[in-house]
Amino acid sequence: MKRKTRLEKREEEELVVMGPSGQFREIWPEIDPVYDSDTSTEDVQNTVGNIPMEWYDDFPHIGYDVNGQKVMKPAIGDELDKFLDKLDDPDSWMSVKDDLMQRDVKLTDEELEIIRRIQMHEIPDKDYNPYEPTVEWFTSKPMVMPLTAAPEPKRRFVPSRWEAKKIMKIARAIREGRILPRKTQAEPPRFYDLWTDTEQSRSDNPMHLPAPKIKLPEHDESYNPPEEYVPTEKEKEEWEKKDPEDRDKSYLPKKYSSLRAVPAYDKFLKDRFERCLDLYLAPRVRKNKLNIDPESLIPKLPHPRDLQPFPISLTLSYDGHADRVRTFSIDPTGLWIVSGSDDRTIRMWEVTTGRCVQKWDVEDIVYSIAWCPNKDIWIFAVTLSNKVAFISPRLMCSEEVSNFAAKYASAGFNMQKADKKPSVVEWVKPTENQRQNGYIVIISHLHDHTVKQVTWHRKGDYFATLAPDAGTQGILIHQLTRHHSQQPFRKIKGLVQRVIFHPIKPIFFVATQRYVRVYNLTKQELSKTLLSGVKWISSIDVHPMGDNVIIGSYDKRLCWFDLDLSARPYRTLQYHRMATRCVAFHKRLPLLASCSDDGTIQIFHGMVYNDLLQNPLIVPVKILKGGHNIVNSLGVLHCEFHPSHPWIVSSGADHKINLWTC
């Protein structure tokens, strides 16, 4: 048999190659950097680290090994395959999913034992002893020999100059009285007698009251009382017949021949027990009572007679309508009133005489009427179903004023509209019959919902209409001179109840069911949202100065908002017993009013000061009642102040319009 050479044996054991220098070079097996096991068969390890594995959802691999090779995803079955694998493998409960390698790993007995100990709130390592003896790494015994043989420094036995300066500074302050030396105080006793009768209060409770002393015995409690204290047989019978609560004393005086013959006190335990109860249950703390006059807590408001003038009595009643009067409007001059009713008529009244000067028959119920605020334009707007009509009563004005109003309102028909966008309304010329009755322009909305409100801008050219059920087309702003209509809101939040223009600034108020949104028309943005805190808003009005807003609600409240102060109500008043239908400010005087279904009108003095540091003054001054009757749970539906006088006009469900004056 041929014998192998040493080189052949070496080539069999390991790979040998010829190096560049002509010598043999050995190539050793590749080193596994993650080798940490007792077995030599190790699986491929994923080295991507702690990253979200969702990054590899769209790839066929799940990472890379130590050599940079891709680690392919293992075959993963559906839920049915997983369920069948669990049934076939009885040890499936011992495995957990390895997110890094996307496979199930079976736990060892040691790992299961660690999990069990953690669940039992025990130390995971079973070999750890928490009660091992303490190892003193530093000895507590003092050493005899010092650590160093260096001589003591001089500063340790020479007086310090800096300490002497500090002591002299303190001594100088004590002489001048700037520092008072600490006085020796006697240490208070740590324990004290709970049942002591001392009159001194304890230091821990200066408000402590001492316990009441026991009543001293009287002469009849003596063992040998005088004869006049000893009761007779009749007095004994009367005392025994009485109830224990009705007796003057809880004992009867007795006489003994000597002190030795006195028996033990049979009520000793009862008396001691009652005494302990008195000491335990009786409040023994001095309480300072505040002597405050209740009248001083009420704010000092001026007397109503100092706040005159304001309406106090019913002066005129405008009778003529046959059904409830929902709305009316007073012209800017204060001479005429135009009213609309459910009897489908519009009537014009003279304010001072109560005479009906003109009547219009319409086809629908009148929900809103509004005079143009410009005195030079003799026009009022009225809502009829889905239409808004502009009427100029020619009988009560000169021909020149009537022609100017007609020309002012009809000028838009002669203008060519530049934008070809589809309009949400149609401006229509009245018929010949309507023109003879004073109709000038009619606006017909494309929707079929009822227009419930029309309100003017202060200059008399722009006005807004409200149809709450029309959705996004419910709020429209129109220009009378150009016959132009626009839809300011693409989306309306909530059910809109009322809209109104700001009297001075380009601001538009939109009152929904619970909120009042304030929009800036110039910037076309929402500037503020007023949080009313009521359940359902019914009406809104703005102060002539523009910084204060009042709202009425169906839950009997009136809320006053100060726009410069907060988005929440400055005052919330509740004087009505039923729903509040309308609120109104006076245009010139510091007055405001609210009317309700209880048939009353509340008059308030509302003074707004120019000083921003002074809050508005709100004083209730008068309740106007007796002018309207409640019909079908409806009382006063609308109220409005006279533009110049301290008068107020109201209308109700009893077909009446009343004028209240001072």
Mean pLDDT of the region 594-620: 90
Confirm whether 184 is domain-assigned.
Answer: no
Strands 325-330 and 336-341, by their bridges, are antiparallel
Confirm whether 481 is domain-assigned.
Answer: yes
Confirm whether 104 is domain-assigned.
Answer: no
User: Taking 80 as the threshold, does the pLDDT of residue 317 lie above it?
Assistant: yes
Q: What is the pLDDT of residues 135-153, one digit of tens each?
A: 877 777 776 776 777 888 8
**Average pLDDT along the chain:** 85
* Residue 582, strand partner residues: 595
Identify the domain containing residue 378 by its residue range: 304-661
pLDDT score of 38: 47
User: Taking 50 as the threshold, does the pLDDT of residue 632 lie above it?
Assistant: yes
Confirm whether 111 is domain-assigned.
Answer: no
Greatest pairwise CA separation for the chain in angstroms: 153
pLDDT score of 1: 44
User: Taking 60 as the threshold, does the pLDDT of residue 90 lie above it?
Assistant: yes
Percent over 70 (pLDDT), the chain: 88
pLDDT score of 219: 87
* Residue 528, strand partner residues: 518
Q: Could you tell me which residue, 29 or 241, shows the higher pLDDT?
A: 241
Confirm whether 406 is domain-assigned.
Answer: yes
Q: Are 472 and 490 in contact (CB under 8 A)?
A: yes
Contacts of 600 (CB under 8 A, 6+ apart): 576, 623, 624, 625, 635, 636
Q: What is the pLDDT of residues 366-424, one digit of tens each?
A: 999 999 999 888 899 999 988 999 999 888 888 888 888 888 888 888 775 655 566 78
Q: What is the pLDDT of residues 251-307, one digit of tens each?
A: 889 999 898 999 988 888 988 898 888 888 776 666 777 788 888 887 788 888 888
Q: Are 476 and 424 in contact (CB under 8 A)?
A: yes
Confirm whether 2 is domain-assigned.
Answer: no
pLDDT score of 22: 65
pLDDT score of 204: 57
Q: Could you tell me which residue, 509 or 419, shows the higher pLDDT?
A: 509
User: Taking 80 as the threshold, does the pLDDT of residue 430 lie above it?
Assistant: yes
pLDDT score of 311: 93
Mean pLDDT of the region 34-53: 65
User: Taking 80 as the threshold, does the pLDDT of residue 555 lie above it?
Assistant: yes
Calpha distance 103→101 (Å, rounded)? 6
- Among 386-400, 560-574, 639-653, which stretch is predicted with the lowest mean pLDDT? 386-400
Q: Name the CA dihedral angle for 489, 492, 495, 499, rounded to a multiple of 10 degrees.
A: -30
User: Taking 70 as the threshold, does the pLDDT of residue 40 lie above it?
Assistant: no
Confirm whether 13 is domain-assigned.
Answer: no
Number of Cβ atoms within 10 Å of the Cβ of 581: 24
User: Taking 90 as the threshold, does the pLDDT of residue 657 lie above it?
Assistant: yes
What CATH number should be reported for the domain holding residue 573?
2.130.10.10
pTM, entire model:
0.57
pLDDT score of 203: 54
User: Taking 60 as the threshold, does the pLDDT of residue 174 lie above it?
Assistant: yes
Binned at pLDDT 50, 70 and 90, residue 15 comes out as low
Q: What is the pLDDT of residues 452-483, one digit of tens each?
A: 999 999 998 999 999 998 888 889 999 998 88
pLDDT score of 318: 92
Written as one letter, the residue type at 2 is: K
Percent over 90 (pLDDT), the chain: 37
Confirm whether 105 is domain-assigned.
Answer: no
Calpha distance 236→217 (Å, rounded)? 21
| Domain tally, the chain | 1
